[in-house]
């Protein structure tokens, strides 16, 4: 069991290019697992964790409803945004500057074989990170992601999640609003959930901006502890 995770920060990177890169890493792991089984080998499978910030883009999961995108193609262009229908779970979400996106591409057989546990630990890494800023967050029943004020009339989502897994290999991941322009969420019904707001770390703290590098370091720290992993850079 290889519990080493290779951390890569891709900076600001095009969504489609990053998706294709994820697919390459995903295929590398899956192909090695198939070879191990076929040739009765025991070669260690690698694990990756990508940090990235995307230019303005809306993505729709495989179970999503296109009507949750409230913009026409021309309106998307006017806002400098792109749109992709992709192969993760979940509905529609937005990615853009000021948002920390994390894509763990893991062979879960190196850790545990439980997708439900994987999602809960992803959420927990964000919950623990926000707690370091004095923000109490948690889960909303039946709704993946991290919320503030869940179960109250003031519920607001700060971190969206959507993953794909095959042969216990994961891709896609989470999107945490740190300094994001929340106005872009007005153009969708986020995650297909009506009547609930979105928020950001910047808004909740009432500051001009939050250090994204500091937030990423905290996420890595908690992810490392929760998954009992070692990161290499």
> Which sequence positions are flagged as catalytic?
191
Total Cβ atoms within 10 A of residue 212: 18
Q: Extract the tokens encoding 141.
A: 């029943």
Is residue 145 annotated as involved in ligand binding? no
Q: Dump the DSSP string for the chain.
A: ---EEEEEEEEE--HHHHHHHHHHHHHHHHHHHHHHHHHT--PPPP-EEEEEEPSSEEEE-TT--GGGB---HHHHHHTT-EEEE-SSSSSEEEE-TTEEEEEEE-BGGGT-S-HHHHHHHHHHHHHHHHHTTT---EEETTEEEEEESTTSTT-EEEEEEEEEEETTEEEEEEEEESS--GGGGGGB-GGG-TT-EE--HHHHHT-S---HHHHHHHHHHHHHHHHT-EEE-
95 is in an annotated binding site: yes
90 is an annotated ligand-binding site residue: yes
Q: Is 174 annotated as a binding residue?
A: yes
Q: State yes or no: 160 annotated in a binding site.
A: yes
Binding site annotation covers 93?
yes
- Residue set of the binding site for substrate: 88-95, 160-162, 173-175
- Residue set of the binding site: 88-95, 160-162, 173-175
């Amino acid at each position: 069991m290889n519990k080493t995770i290779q951390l890569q920060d891709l900076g600001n990177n095009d969504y489609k290019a990053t998706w294709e890169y994820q697919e390459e890493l995903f295929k590398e792991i899956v192909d090695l697992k198939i070879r191990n089984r076929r040739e009765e080998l025991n070669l260690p499978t690698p694990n990756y964790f990508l940090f990235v910030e995307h230019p303005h883009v809306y993505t729709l999961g495989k179970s999503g409803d296109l009507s949750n995108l409230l913009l026409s193609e021309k309106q998307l262009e006017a806002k400098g945004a792109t749109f992709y229908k992709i192969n993760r779970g979940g509905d529609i979400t937005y990615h853009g500057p000021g948002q920390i996106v994390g894509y763990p591409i893991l062979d879960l057989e190196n850790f545990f074989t439980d997708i439900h546990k994987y999602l809960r630990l992803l959420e927990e890494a964000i919950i623990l990170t926000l707690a370091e800023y004095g923000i109490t967050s948690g889960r909303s029943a039946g709704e993946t992601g991290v919320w503030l004020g869940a179960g109250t009339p003031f519920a607001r989502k700060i971190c969206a999640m959507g993953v794909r897994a095959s042969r216990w290999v994961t891709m896609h991941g989470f999107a945490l609003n740190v300094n994001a322009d929340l106005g872009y969420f007005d153009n969708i019904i986020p995650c297909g959930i009506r009547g609930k707001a979105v928020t950001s770390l910047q808004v909740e703290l009432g500051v001009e901006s939050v250090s994204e590098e500091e937030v990423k370091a905290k996420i890595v720290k908690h992810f490392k502890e929760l998954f009992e992993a070692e990161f290499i850079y």
